[in-house]
């Protein structure tokens, strides 16, 4: 190899080569061959990679023969001496030390580097041929085995006699095809049928070729064995001619090459895969010198960076077209870039993650390795090799994974808080204590303030309404509760509007805007107004089964409330509303059970009361009838009168109980007929003459002479009787005023007593089943009369009301249609 300078042409000198060698070796660092720069005597001056246990510095300056096995040194030395002597490249094979320290077979090519006609250096490139040598040895062994097999008649042999069109196979041939003896083809046509359909035409063409030559002709074809397997066969054939040169037969041998074909196909696929991997290599490589010039830039680098090599001016300096960021988004200044650090310190950088904003604005994430390049004898690198992978997809996947992990963690936290809230709200019988613990569970993890404000018994946010609050400050919570006990919520308070509209309201302030005042906190309370200000405030109505119960408040100072938080708040409000409603229903159930027990006791007493005198009077009559005393009509009539009155009373009690069953079961019937309301009312009052006299009540009746209509006579009597009985019970000894009036299509009945009266709070309750405004110990009855009167009035299309005050008596007014419609 002659130096360009020595030949008189312009080019680089040995110094140029020495200066470029580190760059070349940096690029060839991962090449499979050993590339060495040697002195003419074989001393190593540069090498692209080392062997196991030896550093680069230890290699340089040592003889290359130290790394060649003794039996190969003479061959290597002779080759090198010929190159030095002649200047012409030479090749030799030797056994040398491999990269892992084990003996390895190499094929080495040595070239001369000349300067002024003298060989000043040698370039040696060694290629590992251990595998190839082993394969060649295996191939030779295989050929020997094949020769043995042929010698032992292991080949399938065949003959085709042309004149008689007869085909002859040996046993191996039949076994190769998998045929039974009777399936062996007898003529050429049968022979063609044994081939794969796609190869039959080719067999005929090769038969003609065999006939035209003197030597063997090879032909590969496929067959389909009886089991459906496809096999490849290699056939060799040649013609046999008679003395006149006419072909009388063809003959040859066949070998199964299926395994070889499969191996070839596998090798072909592997080679295609390897080429595809190389073609789609995503690693970018850029070599930049200390002046910022791009020495090398591959296509992947251009694709990743979005710029061609010609556009990459000063990629590492202040004029770099790129802006970089760290993984946390912080700026990544150029002086900290891996390639810049490597040029400045000479230290390689490995696996540095950078986010690069290309000039088109796209952010590309790369993993960068940087390797310094040195001139011989220089302590400072003159260039840097930067290799990098595009990991944007991985970063996006990591970001998505982080997002999903965050979603999962938030979902778990949400599930935990919902489960804890649900458990807390149902585990305590005192729902108000549970609500107090519930709001404290939300602070400070989910909010800075949490409160539940429930409507009072009148359905308002009055001074008596229940409040649970948590704010992380006991004094603040105490003052909030005190505010609610001192001042009712104003009519325009957002809490009332939220509950009326049954909608969630979220108020948020911008980060640069003042904080929002908590609804319902007056500015006059300066201490609370100053402290109850928040960045975001959510008001959620508490509604269960269509019934408004109150409002839940959540407020935060340092952050806004997003859709996830609002969804959680809505779920928490639903659980709180259900807990309050369940507590109310449980309380009503307890009250109902108590009333049931009370009713059973009262009913038992009321039913025994008329039965006792009936039993006594019957006993007396029986004794007199037996002759124990004088038995006469005069003596019996008073006792029979007692029996009749008590039986009537017992009958009324039983009828009331039956009416309860009919009303609650929806079986109350209204059977109408033509009546005179005035005459019917007078008849009812006359029927009550004796009970009114016993009660000491004088009745004043006001009614027209005639008031026609249609109604259920029995049910009308029931309404009047129950109201009269009620007036006698609670206004005994005082007059009772009955009035009947007809106004168009409406009949109005009023019953006024002058008894104990009814408080405003009890007036709605007395029309409920088993309810009364006084103790049953002082006033008997089942507590059903007014309840039955109300339901009967409503069943006939009317209604009943009461006006009363304690100590002034009561007025019950019944309004009925004059013509009651018959209905069931």
137-174 pLDDT per residue, tens? 887 887 677 556 654 555 788 888 888 889 888 888 88
Phi-psi region of 741 (alpha: psi -120 to 50; beta: other; left: phi over 0): beta
Phi-psi region of 80 (alpha: psi -120 to 50; beta: other; left: phi over 0): alpha
Q: Residue 824: pLDDT above 50? A: no
Q: What is the pLDDT of residue 369?
A: 92
Stretch 10-35: mean pLDDT: 60
Q: Residue 558: pLDDT above 50? A: yes
Stretch 447-465: mean pLDDT: 86
Q: What is the pLDDT of residue 533?
A: 92
Which helix (H) or strand (E) is 141 found in, with range?
helix 130-151
Which carries the bigger pLDDT value, residue 441 or residue 698?
Answer: 698
Which carries the bigger pLDDT value, residue 624 or residue 317?
Answer: 624
Q: What is the pLDDT of residue 7?
A: 38
Percent of the chain scored above 70 by pLDDT? 80
CA gap 692, 514 in Å, rounded: 76
Percent of the chain scored above 90 by pLDDT? 16
Average pLDDT, the chain: 80
Read out DSSP for 71-111?
HHHHHHHHHHHHHHHH---EEEEEEEE-TTSSEEEEEEEEE
CA gap 28, 22 in Å, rounded: 10
Of the pLDDT bands very low, low, confident and very high (cuts 50, 70, 90), residue 359 is confident
Q: What is the pLDDT of residue 19?
A: 60
HSE-CB for 414 with a 13 A CA cutoff? 16
Query: 152: which DSSP letter?
Result: T
HSE-CB for 529 with a 13 A CA cutoff? 7
C-alpha distances out from residue 808 to 108, 474, 722, 756, 764, Å = 130, 50, 20, 7, 18
Pick the closest to residue 209 from 232, 238, 247, 167 (CA basis): 238
CB 697 within 8 A of CB 735: yes
CB 517 within 8 A of CB 510: no
Q: What is the pLDDT of residue 28?
A: 64
Stretch 560-587: mean pLDDT: 79
C-alpha distances out from residue 252 to 202, 221, 302, Å = 17, 14, 60
Stretch 401-411: mean pLDDT: 75
Tens digits of residue pLDDT in 644-665 = 766 776 666 666 666 665 666 5
Please name every residue paired with 747 in a beta bridge, in sequence order, or none if there are none: 742, 816
Q: What is the pLDDT of residue 6?
A: 37
Two structure tokens written together for 587: 């309380």
HSE-CB for 696 with a 13 A CA cutoff? 7
Q: What is the pLDDT of residue 800?
A: 92
Of the pLDDT bands very low, low, confident and very high (cuts 50, 70, 90), residue 11 is very low
CA gap 752, 803 in Å, rounded: 9
Q: What is the pLDDT of residue 66?
A: 87
Angle, CA 625 vertex, CA 624 and CA 626 arms, to 5°: 90
Which helix (H) or strand (E) is 219 found in, with range?
strand 217-224
Least confident of 420-429, 532-541, 554-563, 686-695: 420-429
Please state the pTM of the whole predicted model: 0.38
CB 421 within 8 A of CB 438: yes
Q: What is the pLDDT of residue 426?
A: 65
Peptide bond into 370 cis (omega under 30): no
Q: What is the pLDDT of residue 274?
A: 42
Q: What is the pLDDT of residue 278?
A: 31
- What torsion, rounded to 10 degrees, do the Cα atoms 620, 626, 628, 631 define? 70
Stretch 291-317: mean pLDDT: 75
Least confident of 149-158, 349-358, 568-577, 711-720: 149-158
Q: Residue 12: pLDDT above 50? A: no
Pick the closest to residue 97 from 70, 125, 60, 58 (CA basis): 70
Stretch 584-603: mean pLDDT: 65
Backbone angles phi, psi at 458, to 5 degrees: -90, 5
* Residue located via tokens 């292991």: 154
Tens digits of residue pLDDT in 205-214 = 777 777 677 7
Q: What is the pLDDT of residue 816?
A: 93
CB 471 within 8 A of CB 557: no
CA gap 71, 366 in Å, rounded: 49
* Residue located via tokens 């309810």: 771
Q: Residue 1: pLDDT above 50? A: no
Q: What is the pLDDT of residue 775?
A: 45
Q: What is the pLDDT of residue 10?
A: 40
CA gap 79, 461 in Å, rounded: 108
HSE-CB for 683 with a 13 A CA cutoff? 11
Q: What is the pLDDT of residue 568?
A: 79
Which carries the bigger pLDDT value, residue 149 or residue 334?
Answer: 334
Stretch 441-462: mean pLDDT: 86
Residues 6+ apart with CB under 8 A from 38: 44, 45, 64, 80, 121, 122, 123, 124
Residue 807 exposed, middle or buried by CB count within 10 Å (0-12, 13-18, 19+): exposed
Pairing of strands 736-743, 699-702: parallel
Q: Residue 348: pLDDT above 90? A: yes
Pick the closest to residue 285 from 327, 321, 339, 232 (CA basis): 339
């Amino acid at each position: 190899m002659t130096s360009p300078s020595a030949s008189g042409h312009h080019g680089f000198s040995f110094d140029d080569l020495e200066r470029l060698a580190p760059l070349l070796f940096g690029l060839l660092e991962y090449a499979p061959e050993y590339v060495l720069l040697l002195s003419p005597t074989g001393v190593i001056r540069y090498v692209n990679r080392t062997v196991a246990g030896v550093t680069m510095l230890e290699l340089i300056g040592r003889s290359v023969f130290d790394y060649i096995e003794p039996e190969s040194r003479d061959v290597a030395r002779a080759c090198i001496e010929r190159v030095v002597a002649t200047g012409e490249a030479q090749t030799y094979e030797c056994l040398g030390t491999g990269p892992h320290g084990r003996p390895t077979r190499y094929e080495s090519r040595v070239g001369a580097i000349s300067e002024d006609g003298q060989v000043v250096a040698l370039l040696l490139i060694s290629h590992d041929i251990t595998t190839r040598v082993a394969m060649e040895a295996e191939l030779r062994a295989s050929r020997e085995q094949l020769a043995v097999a042929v010698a032992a008649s292991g080949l399938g042999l065949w003959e085709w006699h042309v004149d008689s069109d007869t085909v002859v196979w040996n046993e191996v041939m039949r076994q190769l095809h998998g045929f039974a003896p009777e399936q062996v083809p007898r003529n050429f046509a049968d022979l063609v049928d044994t081939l794969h359909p796609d190869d039959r035409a080719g067999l005929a063409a090769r038969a003609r070729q065999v006939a035209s030559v003197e030597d063997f002709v090879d032909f590969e074809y496929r067959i389909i064995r009886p089991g459906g397997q496809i096999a490849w066969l290699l056939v060799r054939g040649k013609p046999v001619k008679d003395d006149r040169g006419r072909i009388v037969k063809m003959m040859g041998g066949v070998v199964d090459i299926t395994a070889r074909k499969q191996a070839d196909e596998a090798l072909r696929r592997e080679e295609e895969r390897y080429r595809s991997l190389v073609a789609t290599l995503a690693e970018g490589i850029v070599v930049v010198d200390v002046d910022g010039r791009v020495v090398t830039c591959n296509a992947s680098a251009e694709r990743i960076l979005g710029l061609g090599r010609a556009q990459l001016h000063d990629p590492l300096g202040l004029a770099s077209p790129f802006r970089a960021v760290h993984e946390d988004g912080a700026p990544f200044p150029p002086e900290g870039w891996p390639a810049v650090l490597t040029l400045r310190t000479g230290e390689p950088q490995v696996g540095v993650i950078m986010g690069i904003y290309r000039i088109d604005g796209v952010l590309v994430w790369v993993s960068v390795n940087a390797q310094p390049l040195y001139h011989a004898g220089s302590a400072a690198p003159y260039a840097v090799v930067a290799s990098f992978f595009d990991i944007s997809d991985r970063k996006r996947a990591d970001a998505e994974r982080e997002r999903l992990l965050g979603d999962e963690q938030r979902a778990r936290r949400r599930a935990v808080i919902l489960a804890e809230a649900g458990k807390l709200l149902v585990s305590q019988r005192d729902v108000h204590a549970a609500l107090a613990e519930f709001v404290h569970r939300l602070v400070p993890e989910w909010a800075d303030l949490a409160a539940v404000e429930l409507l009072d018994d009148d359905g308002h946010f009055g001074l008596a309404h229940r409040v649970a609050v948590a704010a992380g400050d006991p004094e603040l919570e105490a003052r909030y509760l005190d505010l609610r006990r001192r001042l009712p919520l104003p009519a325009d308070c957002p809490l009332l509007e939220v509950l009326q509209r049954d909608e969630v309201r979220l108020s948020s302030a911008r980060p640069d805007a003042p904080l929002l005042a908590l609804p319902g906190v007056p500015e006059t309370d300066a201490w609370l107004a100053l402290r109850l200000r928040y960045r975001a405030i959510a008001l959620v109505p508490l509604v269960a089964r269509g019934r408004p119960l109150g409002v839940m408040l959540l407020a935060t100072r340092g952050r806004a409330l997003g859709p996830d938080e609002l969804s959680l708040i809505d779920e928490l409000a639903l659980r709180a509303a259900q807990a309050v409603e369940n507590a109310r229903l449980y309380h009503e159930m307890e009250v109902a059970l108590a009333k049931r027990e009370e009713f059973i006791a009262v009913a038992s007493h009321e039913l025994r009361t008329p039965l006792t005198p009936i039993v006594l009077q019957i006993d007396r009559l029986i004794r007199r009838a037996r002759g124990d005393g004088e038995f006469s009509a005069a003596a019996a009539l008073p006792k029979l009168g007692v029996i009749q009155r008590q039986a009537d009373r017992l009958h009324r009690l039983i009828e009331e109980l039956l009416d309860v069953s009919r009303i609650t079961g929806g079986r109350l019937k209204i059977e109408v007929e033509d009546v005179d309301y005035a005459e019917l009312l007078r008849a009812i009052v006359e029927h009550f003459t004796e009970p009114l006299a016993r009660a000491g009540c004088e009745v004043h009746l006001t009614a027209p002479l005639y008031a026609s209509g249609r109604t259920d006579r029995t049910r009308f009597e029931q309404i009047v009787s129950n109201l009269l009985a009620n007036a006698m019970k609670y206004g005994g000894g005082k007059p009772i005023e009955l009035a009947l009036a007809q106004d168009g299509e409406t009949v109005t009945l009023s019953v006024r007593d002058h008894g104990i009266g009814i408080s405003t709070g009890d007036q709605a309750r007395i029309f409920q089943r088993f309810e009364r405004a006084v103790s049953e110990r002082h006033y008997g009855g089942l507590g059903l009369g007014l309840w039955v009167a109300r339901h009967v009035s409503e069943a006939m299309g009317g209604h009943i009301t009461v006006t009363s005050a304690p100590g002034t008596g009561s007025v019950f007014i019944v309004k009925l249609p004059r013509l009651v419609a018959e209905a069931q």
